Amino acid sequence: MPNMRLIVTNLHDSSQVTATSEALPAEYTKRSDRSRPWRSTDTSQQVITATLPRTYFIDSLVLYRHNLSSVSQIRLELLNGSDVIYDTGGVSVSGLVPLGQFRFGIDPWGATSTAALPVKQTPFWFTLMAVTGYRVTLIDPVNADGYLEVGRIVAGQALSPKLNAAYGLQLEWQDFSEHRRTEGHSLRTVGDGLARRLPIDLNFLDADDRRKLSSELLKNGKNSDIYVSIFPEEGGLDEGEYAFLARREKNFSHTHDFYGNWKSQIVFVEV
């Protein structure tokens, strides 16, 4: 299984982005506001096209907080000028529960292994390529919402340490609802919302990994979105629960604890 990956610099934010239809503008895919996604006018095939200001090397692209159904398909094409240099073809985004785990009479038909997660996302990982843009085609004609939606697009070059995060990961689902007592002492719960918090201990960083981490995190401050994936390419709930768009909670620091080795703890909170 690959080591954890961080997309710290999101090149999509510097792109010119358009979409086939825009009930809400495609420019919103550059913003982390949950209330401002790109949204189409209907469920017909949609194409989102992003043009970068110059040639960049990327090895990852993520569609984050989308509403695509279990029968939908996504096609990613990487562009260098007018040439398509990489084409996934139509890819299912569902992660359908396999027959061996599907519970007949209990699980709804078309159930997915990530259905319980509040955020739908689809990551693409590929070899490093020089691109000037990319094109994402969305096909979901039976979407029950009556439109297609993508909250955020992340594209860039993933940072992955040679030695993985230390054991003892403690993923916390922060629940923003509050319990309150009435005058009759009944318990009422007000508010809602979930967000993840994850401290990551990187206890074995060599000089090269420490330089890359420092360079990326110092260039992008606490106000920058970072895509965190602890189990990339694992698929299903294991990958989905430990992958989210986040920001650093604390200042960045590292400790030179013995010869040729540094360690650092980074605390990520979901945006």
pTM score of the predicted model: 0.90
Instruction: Tell me the average confidence (pLDDT) per consecutive run of 10 residues in the chain, 271 residues long.
Output: 95 98 98 95 98 98 95 96 96 60 49 75 96 98 97 97 95 93 92 94 96 94 96 91 96 95 97 95
Q: What amino acid is encoded at 226 in this protein? A: I
Sequence-separated contacts (24+) of 144-147 with Cβ below 8 Å: 144/69, 145/67, 146/42, 146/43, 147/23, 147/39, 147/40, 147/41, 147/42, 147/43, 147/67
Cα 242 to Cα 71, 122, 193, 199, distances in angstroms: 24, 13, 18, 12
Q: What are the phi and psi torsion angles at 216 (to 5°)?
A: -70, -45
Nearest to 42 by CA among 138, 150, 146, 149: 146
Nearest to 51 by CA among 161, 134, 167, 175: 134
For residue 243, list its beta bridge partners: 229
Question: Which domains does the chain show, CATH number per domain?
Answer: 10-156 (2.60.120.260), 172-270 (no CATH)
169 close to 153: Cβ distance less than 8 angstroms: no
Please give the Cα distance from 204 to 196 (Å, whole number). Answer: 25
Q: What amino acid is encoded at 81 in this protein? A: G
Please give the Cα distance from 79 to 55 (Å, whole number). Answer: 10
Nearest to 110 by CA among 158, 132, 143: 143
For residue 57, list its beta bridge partners: 130
Q: What are the phi and psi torsion angles at 87 (to 5°)?
A: -145, 120
Q: What amino acid is encoded at 271 in this protein? A: V
